[in-house]
Amino acid sequence: MAKKGQIIAGALAPHPPHLVYAENPPQNEPRSECGWETLRWGYERLRKSLEKKDYDVLIIHSPHWRTQVGTHFLGVEKFKGLSVDPIFPNLFRFSYDLKVDVELAEAIHDEAQKLGMVTEMMRNPDYRVDYGTIVSGHMTNPSWDKPIVGISSNGGARYFNMDVMQATMMKLGQATKKAVEASGKRAVLLASNSLSHRHFVKESPIVEDMSKEHINNHNQYLWDMRMIDLFRKGKTQEVIDIMSDFTEQATAETDGGSLSWMLSALDLPDYPATLHGYGTVIGTGNAVVEWDHLNQGADV
């Protein structure tokens, strides 16, 4: 009998391009002096934790690949190109060269269709992969030695409403779980989003000047702390219950459904998550958080 696949971990893996800029990897053209260390050290802890667990594939759901009709999946084995952040071209000009697990992407696509979702495989070999997928992928696995599955977020929150879109992403989570289990593979899921997302409209002259970095406003901070507290207490049903209010009141980047998708695929964990780091990037709230699904949080 074929081996049963498993989601071994899920992570909230935010994608401010500033984090890659501050790391100075050879793929990124601009150079920095430092910056956003609490988050970068958080990613370092996430990487160390995942290294011990051994996995085959990273599945990334990105708010910056926004499709208006349905959910799309990267459907070409290799993508190579230059990703330039449209808002921060001064920080992020990244040459990417990545592999896709097309077989698993197709399996999730098919499971989602069976649940009545509108889905599409993206077969354009010249497609420019979005920076949300790239930053979360790079910060989690800078060697890029594992394939990814890239999943788009859907604009249904604007077209229908927030609750409809979040409920659809819960369905997608269940489809993802089913497909991973049938695949025999060990997968790590990345919800590529910031928490509160109201940001400054002016950049400081030295972008990595950390004396200028702080949360945009107190309301945003209170919301971030509330969400992190629920993650750490294993109260993810409550996270889902307040997801739409959080998203609207904290202008949160959960508006793409990435976090709901991931928590649903993990069957709404009631074990504590590990907070690897929290920090702000141009005023937005970002947390690197791991759900150790393999051990159900036993190490926390």
The residue among 132 and 272 lying less far from ligand 2X7, judged by its C-beta, is 132
Spatial separation of the C-alpha atoms in residues 9 and 48, rounded to whole Å:
13
Residue 194 interacting with ligand 2X7 (CB under 6 A): yes
**At its nearest, how many Å lie between ligand 2X7 and the CB of residue 294?**
28
Spatial separation of the C-alpha atoms in residues 187 and 3, rounded to whole Å:
14
Amino acid making up residue 82: L
Q: Which stretch binds ligand 2X7 (CB under 6 A): 9-17, 110-118, 230-238, 269-277?
A: 9-17
Identified binder of ligand 2X7 from the candidate list 20, 102, 281, 289, rule CB under 6 A: 281
Task: Pick the closest to residue 221 from 249, 191, 245, 242 (CA basis).
Answer: 249
The residue among 166 and 194 lying less far from ligand 2X7, judged by its C-beta, is 194
Residue 174 in tokens? 């269940």
Q: How many residues bind ligand 2X7 (CB under 6 A)?
A: 9
Identified binder of ligand 2X7 from the candidate list 107, 284, 290, 291, rule CB under 6 A: 284
Burial class (CB in 10 A: 0-12, 13-18, 19+), 128: middle
Phi and psi at residue 94, to the nearest 5°: -110, 125
Burial class (CB in 10 A: 0-12, 13-18, 19+), 140: buried
Residue 253 interacting with ligand 2X7 (CB under 6 A): yes
Q: Which residue of the chain is nearest ligand 2X7 when measured via CB?
A: 16
220-257 b/e (C-beta count within 10 Å ≥ 16 → b): bbebbeebbebbeebbbeebbeebbebbeebbbbbbbb
Whether 49 contacts 292, CB under 8 Å: yes
Whether 36 contacts 281, CB under 8 Å: yes
Q: Which stretch binds ligand 2X7 (CB under 6 A): 11-19, 45-53, 71-79, 119-127?
A: 11-19
Spatial separation of the C-alpha atoms in residues 147 and 1, rounded to whole Å:
25
Residue 282 interacting with ligand 2X7 (CB under 6 A): yes
The residue among 154 and 193 lying less far from ligand 2X7, judged by its C-beta, is 193
**At its nearest, how many Å lie between ligand 2X7 and the CB of residue 106?**
28
Residue 207 interacting with ligand 2X7 (CB under 6 A): no
Residue 16 interacting with ligand 2X7 (CB under 6 A): yes
Q: Which stretch binds ligand 2X7 (CB under 6 A): 13-21, 44-52, 158-166, 237-245?
A: 13-21
The residue among 85 and 290 lying less far from ligand 2X7, judged by its C-beta, is 85
**At its nearest, how many Å lie between ligand 2X7 and the CB of residue 283?**
8
Residue 19 in tokens? 């984090």
Residue list 49-68, contact with ligand 2X7 (CB under 6 A): none
CA dihedral 99, 11, 197, 73 (to 10 degrees): 30
Q: What is the largest CA-CA distance in the chain?
A: 60
Spatial separation of the C-alpha atoms in residues 251 and 232, rounded to whole Å:
22
The residue among 239 and 282 lying less far from ligand 2X7, judged by its C-beta, is 282
Question: How far apart, in Å, do the first and last CA atoms of the chain sit?
Answer: 34
Residue 71 interacting with ligand 2X7 (CB under 6 A): no
**At its nearest, how many Å lie between ligand 2X7 and the CB of residue 58?**
18
Residues that bind ligand 2X7 (CB under 6 A): 15-17, 194, 199, 253, 281-282, 284
